[in-house]
Every structure is written in structure tokens, then in C-alpha cells.
Structure 1
Amino acid sequence: MDSAAAGLTFRDATGADVGVLVALIESAYRGDASRVGWTTEADILKGQRTYPERIHALIESPGSRMLTVERDGAAVACCQLEHRGDHAYFGMFAVSPTLQGAGLGRAVLAEAERAARTVWGVLEMRMTVISAREDLIAWYERRGYRRTGLMSPFPYGDERVGIPQRDDLEFELLVKPLV
């Protein structure tokens, strides 16, 4: 086990985790707190990244898991996994900004891939990433994800996903075989 994974506990989130997970996700992506880490979207999106109702729905949804990652009893990372037939979807990934860049995200992603393979038997992980996030896409590429060139529109006008600061946002599908 690498040092970043040492002392981590991985578990499925419960309803009691909703507030902590919303705060963690917000801190990793939006506002000034997110600028401590490198995964911030603060320059391209304002507003909230998620809401308690959304996290609660992900926790309760059949075929979905909200993985909570703790160190010394405190939530330090999370991600959502969704079983979609022959593949799993990976999303809502957040690592505490003060812990980014030390390998924690890599350890969480590896555990998510392992869980998708063993629990659901899927052979591929998929995700969508804002195509303007070249640094983040490069990080996923170094972990075996492949850009597909398949784009989907950003939901302009839906403030539940944030308030865009640019007019060129779209999502690109990334895929990785889990063999």
C-alpha cells in the first residue's frame, strides 16, 4: 500500500454523511477554499456544485454508491459510482483541497475501479469531464483513461450545476478498461 492510502477507510455513505459530503465537494470545486487545491472550477463556474438533496438521492438510489473516504474519522475524499449495465460511471469525485497533490486521489480512484470490478463485475469505467479542464483530463489520462472525443452539452441555464463564467463549456466522455 502506498503512503497516500495508509490509514484510509473506505465505506458507503449514509444519510448522516450528506452535510459533510456536500461541504467536502464544495470545498474541492467552488469558491476561494477550492483554490488551495488544483481541482478548482472557481474560474469557470460560480454557485454551488451540489446540494444535500442530490447527495441524498445518490446515496439512496439503487445501483449507485457514494463512497466516503475517511482518515482518522474525518471525511477526506468521496466519489460516486453508478452501475450502468456493462460499465460503471464515476463522478462527484472530491478530495479535500489541503490534501490534493499527495496521491490521495490516485488511491481513491484505484479503490473505486476495484469496487466497480468486484461488486458489479463491469469491465469499463466511464466519466464525463468539462473539456476545458485540460489539467484534470491529463491527470485521468495518466491513470489509463482515454479521451473519446464524444461531447455532451453543458446544461446552461440549470443553476443546480453552477453558473458558467464561459460560453464554451461541454463535457467529454473518458473511458478506461477495468481488466
Structure 2
Amino acid sequence: MTKIEIRPATLADLPRLHPVVERAYRGDSARQGWTHEADLLSDTRTDLATLATLIDGDSRLLIALDGNTILGCVNIADRSYGLAYLGLLCVDPTIQARGIGKQLIAAAEATARETFAADRIEMTVIDRRAELIAWYERHGYARSGETRPFPVPVDPPLTMVVLAKPLFDQRQLP
């Protein structure tokens, strides 16, 4: 597993982060990894203005770095009443399968507990992404039984599976 630094993103990080997100989710470069949506969607994944909204308030955008190189990111948002939402988890497709995603999830879960006092976390994954859903299940997430429509209209329509996980403070376990 590659050991990396994980910290909150700043506005100055976003121009370097944005291409990493796009490479991980869309286009031919995304196909170098296994977590992409390139076979399902062809538009851009996000933009700088949207990334900027994820930096503070009820949301944190965490970035993984090796020195000054941004390797990936994850967003964690407060949904109130002890619920946090995990999204935008990505790792540059050329370096996936090195444990970076696992480290980003752990940092996101810690942020959910410590910053938002969350006791549970949820995420959504495109239902056609069976291998990605299975990866999250191996990391403690379970299908909640709920589905949601994809956030933007596409043809054919896509459905999101809701995955959830209780959050426990590991320091309090026996």
C-alpha cells in the first residue's frame, strides 16, 4: 500500500485536482483504471466552480498527495442528524489498486465522525457498476435497499444504489 498525505483541499489545489477527477471518471484515460464511468457517460464529471463548493461549510474535499502530486480525492458532506455522505472518491487511473482509495475512505470516515459528528455514512453508486459496489461492500458498506435516480438526465436513464455504513470511533472499541 502506498503511504500518502491526505489533507483538506484549498482553492489553490483545484486547478491541479480537476484534471485528476476527469481522468479518473471520464474519457479514454479513465479506462486505464477500473473505477471509471467512461463506458456509461461521456460528459465532464465536474468543474472548478462545483469543486469549490465542496471545500468548506457542510462539506470537506480531501485530497491525497505524494509530495506535490495530487493522486485523488474524496468528498464528505454533512447531511444532518448524524448522517454523512461520501462522494467523488477517485484515484488517478494510472495508480489505482495501491491502497490509496482505502486510505481516502478512512480519512473521509474520520472526518465524518470528527467534523460532522456523524454516526453513519452513505454513498450512491451507479447500479451497473457491480465490481465497484462489491469493492465498497468489502470495505464495510452495505446496500440499504434504496435506489435514487442519477442526478442528471441521461439516455438511457441510470439508477444509483444507496450504500450505507455505521461509523464507530475505533478508539472506543474493546
TM (normalized to structure 2)? 0.90
Q: 1:26, CA displacement in angstroms?
A: 0.4
Residue number in structure 2 paired with 1:175: 164
Alignment of 1:10-159 (within 5 A): 10-60=6-56, 62-85=57-80, 86-157=82-153
Which one has more relative contact order, counting CA pairs under 8 Å at least 6 apart?
1
Instruction: Encode CA deviations 1:61-119: one digit per residue, 9 max, x unaligned.
Output: x1110101101221101011111111111001110111111211111111211221122
In structure 2, what is the Cα distance between the partners aligned to 1:53 and 1:72?
25
* Alignment-mate amino acid for residue 63 of structure 1: D
In structure 1, what is the Cα distance between the partners aligned to 2:35 and 2:62?
19
In structure 1, what is the Cα distance between the partners aligned to 2:148 and 2:50?
21
Secondary structure of 1:105's match? helix
Instruction: Encode CA deviations 1:135-162: one digit per residue, 9 max, x unaligned.
Output: 11000000010001211112444xxxxx
Secondary structure of 1:132's match? coil
Q: 1:120, CA displacement in angstroms?
A: 2.2
Aligned-CA RMSD value: 1.3
Structure 1: give runs of 5+ residues left out of the alignment.
Answer: 158-163
In structure 2, what is the Cα distance between the partners aligned to 1:107 and 1:59?
19
Determine what percentage of the aligned residue pairs are the same residue. Answer: 40
TM (normalized to structure 1)? 0.88
Structure 1 stretches of at least 4 aligned residues deviating more than 6 Å after TM superposition: none
* Alignment-mate amino acid for residue 164 of structure 2: V
Secondary structure of 1:111's match? helix
